[in-house]
Amino acid sequence: MALSKMDIPRTAQHFLECAIEECERNCEFYCNPCHIRLCKQCKDEHLRSPENKNHEVVLYQQRKRQLPVEKCKIHPTKDMDMLCEECQVPVCSKCATQGDHHGHIFTDLEKKYADKSAIFQEEISKIQEYFLPISQNLLKEIKEDSSKIKHIMDNIRISMKTEGESLKSLVDTVVSENLKQLDQIEHSLLEDLKTQDKTMDDYITYLNDLVKELHICLSSKEPQKLMSKKKPKIQSIPETTKPVTPSFTAGQYSKIDITQLLCKIHVPNTKAENREIRSIESFYNTDTAMKLTNQQMKEERTKSDKKQTLSLTASVTKVRKLKVPPGVHGVYHISQHQSNRLWISDLDGNLVQTDLHMNVIQKIKTNGKWEGFHTVTQDGDLIFTDKNKKVIIKKTHDNYITEFMKTGDWKPFSIHSSHINGDLLVGMAREAKGLLRLMKTTEESKVTRYNTTGKELQNIQRDNKGQELYITPYYITENINGDICTSDHSNGVVVVNKSGQHRFSYRDQKSEFKPYGICTDVLGHILVCYGVSVQLLDQDGQFLSLLLTQQQGVECPRGVCVDDENNLYVGQRDIIILTVYNYLQ
């Protein structure tokens, strides 16, 4: 009997041989009526025989299964080779003419067996080629997610403990200062009482001395002495004051206050997304799937090759100069979605969309100033902040404007739409509360992550030592590795990873490093405006160069943006020219 496909391992390295005697060539074909393996030459020879010329010879993989030989239990000399359609049981030819099956309809059992075997083999193939690989990949994803969850939770635990220790340290500091103040008050009160004590002691001594003197006069036997003695003038009792003692008022802080002051564990109130499972229909639509896959692979390879070949140019080249529209006073921030559309803003809150020739497409009046208060989503929607109303506004590509979400008592200054997952990153600040206000901190700042529906996902406020990361987070962007890069006008460039862990801060070795606009490029460089230059940092915060200086016509850079073709747009204060440079090749 020929070997079945199930007998051959899927990873078999050997080959089947032709079943014709003395032929050792590879088996390629199969004769279904004869159930023999054939090579190409033997197949041709087999079909030349008159009795075989009508035989069905197919590729070996398309062969029909040979019916196993099974003897009839009622007629042991007969093979069961027919199927009773009414009873759905195998029978022999003799059973078909007598007994319970008399008059029933019968079909060829071998054909039915081959058809059924083909169906089962197809199911085996589906399991091995589709269900098993996808299930194994899903299992791998689940295990990876388990490791990620543990890592994330460990980091959160460390941050929570560190924050708690920091708060304890602040409380100890405040209590220590209060005790010191109390000691000083006590010392002052006791010194005053000590002075009063001496005064009264001296006065009593004076009185006792006076009494003695008068007694002497009274006891004198010479009346003349008493008569000549003037009536004494008794000094007034010295004035003394009662001490004004301090009172103690216990702080009115509850567990809720401390909970609000410390970090919060945020569990998104959203339904977990199902893991993507490619449909079996698309999986077996080989032509379409292969074309799509090949096209995607080609595009990815093109992007990857282009990225790998990119490098910094020897010198920065000015590509073109664009005159901004009338009424726009300087360019403080730039947002780009499509390669031929820009949103620019100035110090007066004018937010203008233009083409690359600076023709105005639309204009919005906002209360924004020189912060990076606008961004464009992957869908082309404009998102901008209103720090006065403490809301974030969305203007869809079909010009529908709505208050997208509110930020409570936090003023939103800067905003960026992630090109990785569409999340919104918002830099904001509010008046300090609780213990921070007690410590004479006037404001507290943070960066908050929202999803595309406006659901709060993450708050980033302190480092692992409990120190505040931000003071004035006026510009914000995201790097290719998910790092959140913030240009803090009072605290330099602050970079945290996508989990919110502080990676580094850059301050240019100056005591007052006050940066403005910030952006990143396809190589992970960080470009930031400062003074009369645009500085270039690598992904880890190492200074690479002064990319643009006064020699390239830069006086007061404010807004920067790198487009999809790696052109660098630079806007400046009080200058009506937007300049485009090339610095990658």
How much is the pLDDT for 15? 58
Q: Is the pLDDT of residue 26 over 80?
A: yes
CA 75 centroid distance within chain:
75
How much is the pLDDT for 100? 78
Residue with the larger pLDDT of the pair 259 and 210:
210
CA distances from 263 to 166, 269, 497 (A): 12, 18, 17
179, 183, 186, 192: CA torsion to nearest 10:
-150
Q: Is the pLDDT of residue 271 over 90?
A: no
Q: Is the pLDDT of residue 169 over 60?
A: yes
Output 245-250 pairs: Cβ under 8 A, ≥24 positions apart.
245/189, 246/182, 246/185
Residues 6+ apart with CB under 8 A from 275: 138, 141
- pLDDT band at residue 309 under the 50/70/90 scheme: low
Q: How many residues does the chain have?
A: 585
Query: In whole angstroms, what is the distance from residue 268 CA to residue 456 CA?
Result: 7
Structurally, at CATH architecture level, domain 280-584 sits in: 6 Propeller (2.120)
Radius of gyration of the chain (CA): 45
If you average pLDDT over residues 316-326, what whole number do you get? 89
Q: Shortest CA distance to 333 belongs to which of 352, 308, 315?
A: 352
473 C-beta neighbours (distance < 10 Å), count = 29
Q: Does 280-584 match 1-63 at the fold level?
A: no
CA distances from 157 to 110, 239, 460 (A): 67, 63, 15
Residues 6+ apart with CB under 8 A from 500: 159, 458, 459, 460, 484
- pLDDT band at residue 308 under the 50/70/90 scheme: low
Output 492-497 pairs: Cβ under 8 A, ≥24 positions apart.
493/518, 493/526, 493/528, 493/537, 493/541, 494/469, 494/470, 495/526, 495/541, 496/447, 496/460, 496/469
Structurally, at CATH architecture level, domain 1-63 sits in: 2-Layer Sandwich (3.30)
Query: In whole angstroms, what is the distance from residue 485 CA to residue 495 CA?
Result: 5
Q: Is the pLDDT of residue 296 over 70?
A: no
108 C-beta neighbours (distance < 10 Å), count = 12
Domain boundaries, given as residue ranges, for the chain: 1-63, 114-242, 280-584
Residues 6+ apart with CB under 8 A from 563: 336, 339, 569
Mean pLDDT over all residues of the chain?
A: 83
- pLDDT band at residue 129 under the 50/70/90 scheme: confident
8 A C-beta contact, residue 548 and residue 557: yes
Residue located via tokens 């799509």:
292
Query: In whole angstroms, what is the distance from residue 382 CA to residue 393 CA?
Result: 8
Residue 135 in tokens? 């299930």
Output 83-87 pairs: Cβ under 8 A, ≥24 positions apart.
83/107, 83/108, 83/109, 83/112
Q: Is the pLDDT of residue 557 over 50?
A: yes
If you average pLDDT over residues 205-218, what whole number do you get? 88
Query: In whole angstroms, what is the distance from residue 495 CA to residue 492 CA?
Result: 10
8 A C-beta contact, residue 30 and residue 37: yes
- DSSP at 359: -
Q: Is the pTM of this model over 0.75?
A: no
Residue 331 in tokens? 């360019």
